[in-house]
Chain A
Amino acid sequence: MIGIVSYGTYIPKFRIKVEEITRIWNEDAETVKQNLGVLEKSVPDVDEDTATMAVEAGREAISRARIKPEKIGAIFVGSESHPYAVKPTATIVGEALGVGNYYFCADLEFACKAATAGMQICYAMVKAGMIEYGLSIGSDVAQAKPGDALEYTAAAGAAAVLIGKDPIAEIEATVSYTSDTPDFWRRELQPYPSHGGRFTGFPAYFRHIVMAAKKLMEEFGYTAKDFDYAVFHQPNAKFPQRVASMLGFSEEKIADGMIVRFIGNTYSASSLLGLCSILDKAMPDQRILLVSFGSGAGSDAFAIRVTDRILDYPRNTRVWDKLKECVYIDYALYLKHRRMIR
């Protein structure tokens, strides 16, 4: 059995409310909150970035796994906001986690699904007997142009998933659906991403998630009823609610993963943070559908079944509890924290 052996998360403690952003741009807070279903988003401290958050999440995953870091044979960090355009984040993480020098390593980019792609690679490497454990981390300090709609949701966070044998949650199956769909992109040297507006909906998010989920269910014989939980990439609260209903999942089945309302879209960490929130409470034999989405575009679908081993696993500091420890800041501090003013 191969799957998730441990997981760790990190959410920075600062928050900015939708009201504070609408105040600057003279928009209506209630309308925005209605449209997006998001109340506030997480903001990193001035000295935090994708690498620092990835290390914090990775440290939690390793400490709860109770394994020696040197046993980790691969590290992949997926992000759209790597601190360097050239020079991997994953080596900084590897050094800070103390994994030694003998490990497979690369940074991944596939918009918000880079870390689930990393999970698939780690899964394959473990299955092939190449490594004992593989670590995939999604971490982002999401960029958004000031005044753009994305500004309300572009947030910061990290999630780390350790893959290996004897898991607390088995990866029963995984499938990907990929196409060349330019829904959201950032050109080299451009500071902020651009997007296709409404084009990011059906041709992108919904199409890829639905195709990947349906393929997974057809190929491996699942129906929606076989899953106790479903978690999708969360760019806002509306999209995952809608795609859940399209796939036949009720509000209850997605509720435990819907942290986007309180922290916004953490990009590469988004679907994984949702998964971790569910793992915080899921019981043995319960099954989770995880479908990520990365612009450009693609979705990775996983059928994950919780095992007995989760009962021995230290599920302290739950994601929903971490969300509550926060400090609200105003727009000026937000700009300073994001290093947009120095």
Chain B
Amino acid sequence: MVPRIWRRIKYRYNTITSFCESCGSYYYPQREICPKCRRKGAIRDVEIDGEGTVLSYTIVNGRKIALIEFENGARMLAEVCGDIEIGSKVRKVFRRYGEDGEDGIIYYGTKFIPIS
């Protein structure tokens, strides 16, 4: 599990979308091929400021998980801490997502809180 988690650290700690230079589309999560352009596409990382709008959410196992839409059209599933409804504006925060047991590594990532 360690290498799998390590590989994604860059993409978990900050909000980084994939941008296709050929068609101008933004994607989240990170991907290597643009589904519209395929081999004619040119994908690179674009970090965004982490502010978005709640499209929908659920509460499962005591946690609020929301689908958040960014201005560039990319969408991200993440935990939200605080009260939200569909349409709430949220911003990113750096939090713990879990751990690999008491003696394993800690998983950090991006969650969201409502912008008051």
B48 within 8 A of A: no
The reply to whether the CB of A48 lies closer than 8 angstroms to some CB of chain B is: yes
Task: Give which listed residue, B14, B81, B116, contacts A47 with CB less than 8 A.
Answer: B81
Contact B81 A96 (CB under 8 A): no
In the assembly, what is the distance between CA of A48 and CA of B95, in Å?
6
Q: 1/0 per position for B15-43, CB-CB distance to A under 8 A? A: 00000000000000000000000000000
How distant is the Cα of A275 from the Cα of B14 in the complex, in angstroms? 29
| Distance in Å: Cβ of B79 to nearest Cβ of chain A | 8
Which A residues lie within 8 Å of B14 (CB)?
96, 98
* B interface SS class: strand
- Output the least CB separation between A46 and chain B (Å): 8
| A interface residue count range (under 10 / 10 to 19 / 20 to 34 / 35 or more) | 10 to 19
Q: Tell me which residues across on chain A come within 8 A of B7, comparing CB atoms.
A: none
Interface centre among B13, B96, B116 (most CB of A within 10 A): B96
Annotate B75-116 by CB proximity to A: 1 below 8 A, 0 otherwise: 000010100000000000111110000000110100100001
Asked if B5 is an interface residue, CB under 8 A from chain A, the answer is no
Cβ of A92: which chain B residues have Cβ within 8 Å of it?
108
Contact with B along A56-79 (1 / 0, CB 8 A): 100100000000000000000000
For residue A166, CB closer than 8 A to chain B, the reply is: no
Complex CA distance for A95 and B14, rounded to whole angstroms? 9
Closest to A87 in B: B105
> Measured between C-beta atoms, what is the minimum distance from A246 to chain B in Å?
40
Interface size class of B (residues with CB under 8 A): 10 to 19
Please give, as numbers and ranges, the residues of chain A lying within 8 Å of B94 by CB-CB distance: 51-52, 55-56, 59, 96
Known pairs A47-B81, A47-B111, A84-B106; A52 contacts B96 (CB<8 A): yes
Across the interface, which residues of B come within 8 angstroms of A296, CB to CB? none
Which of B's residues lie within 8 Å of A, judged by CB? 9-10, 13-14, 47, 79, 81, 93-97, 105-106, 108, 111, 116
**A residues near B, CB below 8 A?**
45, 47-49, 51-52, 55-56, 59, 83-84, 87, 92, 95-96, 98, 325
Please list the 4 inter-chain residue pairs (A to B) with the smallest Cβ-Cβ separation, ordered nearest first: A55-B94, A96-B13, A47-B95, A47-B96
